[in-house]
Chain A
């Protein structure tokens, strides 16, 4: 319990840090972001929305308001879920755009990352158990090299060879043209079909990291006395590998979850960009190109919160897996 409370406390502080960073960034940026923005807005947009400039000014912190009240106002806005109006998709509220795009990204990165974890740790376990065996000498270097490849290069290669040349997968967007998103079978099938390749890429890019971590820890674990004892007792080999060595070796890699997941979220931006996949990653890239600061800021916060939530889930899992933290 104390472990979880401590983690929760840290996440609260981390969330506060992310929000504060978000608040400070436009104020620290050299030059006025507003000028860049104004030059991109069309006069008709401005004429139609006389309050927009004021809103933007408030958002970007360029109005003549003392820092502390502005900060307080920003905190209140964030916690009421009000992120303002997107300037590149004017006049759609930022929260609506996030709500529309986030499910796609969560589906991609959720499925992809869990599969990468299972595949990576599974193969890492076998690789360490039979060091120098077939799995270790083929899968280890292959997955590790894949993991070192830039995600966008892998994605481009996959689009070219598996999508364009082989024609196995659709190469653009999240569902076929002419299909309306909704709870119907055609949409579900199309969305699944479009999601397979991006998910596969996430799996192959991120399995290597898990494999390496697992293998490195497990190499130490297999030399422990209790493994020798379990073997001496005559337990089946597979049981010793999974329930004795693997069970203990899985804990340290899990603590590296935060940075791994953060990297996966970064990879997601590239993958969505290559596939024109309408998730938060592509939206972030386009918002950044279009200097849509309300949207980029909200998305940075969304990304941070997603990572925090994923970490929290991992901590809960950790409590289940490691009895020692339950009593500590």
Chain B
């Protein structure tokens, strides 16, 4: 991915929007917004985040209080219906976004920190350090993550958000570590790394001060990959009843739907709306990922795009 195959097309001049002079929009953001797939993903995901932040103004009903007659299908007062107990599904979906996305983001962050540290250290150090880290990574890759998460969740007593962040973060780093290690390998013997080595910099300083800043875009891409996986795991654990289901989140709402046999009773709105919100967030993030992939690998794109910009960014 580091080597961009020279294409015959001349580099088109970058037409930056005129507002760019006042408000500095980072170049990668401009690129991502120009890609149809990632633009769709960013807009959809941004909207969901916006709804989560504006929850108190959007959903005036409390998500955790019984506010209406139970089992109502979607209607004017309750656009997503009410549950078997009389909770407002709309309020639960809007407020639930906070926990679902928040835990997902923090878990992905933790996972990325672990993966970056291990992956870059392994790639730079080589030798036995690399062997050991690589082995541990591979072992974690073959142990199926969800069953491992379920077993860990069954053993911890407090299953609140902090615990969810920790256990999801600690179990999802392996995929990222492998990707980042591979990419850091290609930087290991670059001149600036060798120069830092000759200058007598310490190993940690070279890894985090020299190599890491040059990999920020790849680390961000790896974070995105784990972000949606973490959101899925968070909701999944709640759906299976293995997290604190008395909190408001998409997974918890779906757990109660399943627990009350909402599907079998035909109360589709109880599982559909939180599930759809979850699916939409994940699909949006996946589309952002495709955009990132296409930016990094020009061959995946149709050949009519502006290659010049990309070459400058990723070469």
Contact = CB atoms under 8 A, between A and B. Distances in A.
A144 B150 CA distance: 27
A289 B239 CA distance: 12
Nearest to A306: B144
A296 B152 CA distance: 10
Size class of the contact patch on chain A: 35 or more
Given A153-B278, A270-B240, A273-B240, 9 more contacts: A14-B139, A25-B155, A29-B156, A144-B290, A160-B268, A263-B145, A288-B240, A296-B154, A300-B147
B200 interface: no
Interface string A21-34: 10001100111010
Contacts of A25: 151-152, 155
Contacts of A164: 263-264, 266
Interface stretch (B69-77, B84-92, B228-236): B228-236
Given A18-B139, A160-B263, A311-B142, A284 B279 contact: no
Contacts of B313: none
A38 B235 CA distance: 29
Contact of B236 (A31, A152, A219): A152
B119 interface: no
Interface string B255-287: 001100001101010011001101100110010
A216 interface: yes
B150 A288 contact: yes
B15 interface: no
A250 interface: no
Contact of A265 (B144, B241, B279): B144
Interface in B186-218: none
B139 A159 contact: no
Closest 5 CB pairs of A and B: A266-B146, A288-B154, A153-B275, A17-B139, A29-B155
A274 B258 contact: yes
A29 B163 CA distance: 12
A150 interface: yes
A220 B297 CA distance: 10
Contact of A26 (B139, B155, B157): B155
B145 A285 contact: no
Contacts of A287: 154
A164 B279 CA distance: 22
A70 B94 CA distance: 49
B144 A132 contact: no
Interface in A31-85: 31, 33, 36
B58 interface: no
Given A145-B283, A152-B239, A270-B236, A259 B141 contact: yes
A258 interface: yes
B260 to A, nearest CB: 13
Contact of B148 (A11, A263, A300, A311): A300
Contacts of A10: 138
A17 B151 contact: no
A285 B282 contact: no
26 contacts: A17-B139, A31-B157, A131-B302, A144-B290, A148-B282, A150-B232, A150-B235, A150-B236, A153-B279, A156-B271, A156-B272, A157-B272, A157-B275, A164-B263, A216-B300, A265-B147, A284-B151, A285-B150, A287-B154, A288-B154, A293-B154, A296-B151, A296-B154, A300-B148, A304-B142, A304-B147
Contact of B144 (A11, A160, A289, A307): A307
Contacts of A311: 142
Nearest to B266: A164
Contacts of A30: 156-157
B274 to A, nearest CB: 9
B276 to A, nearest CB: 7
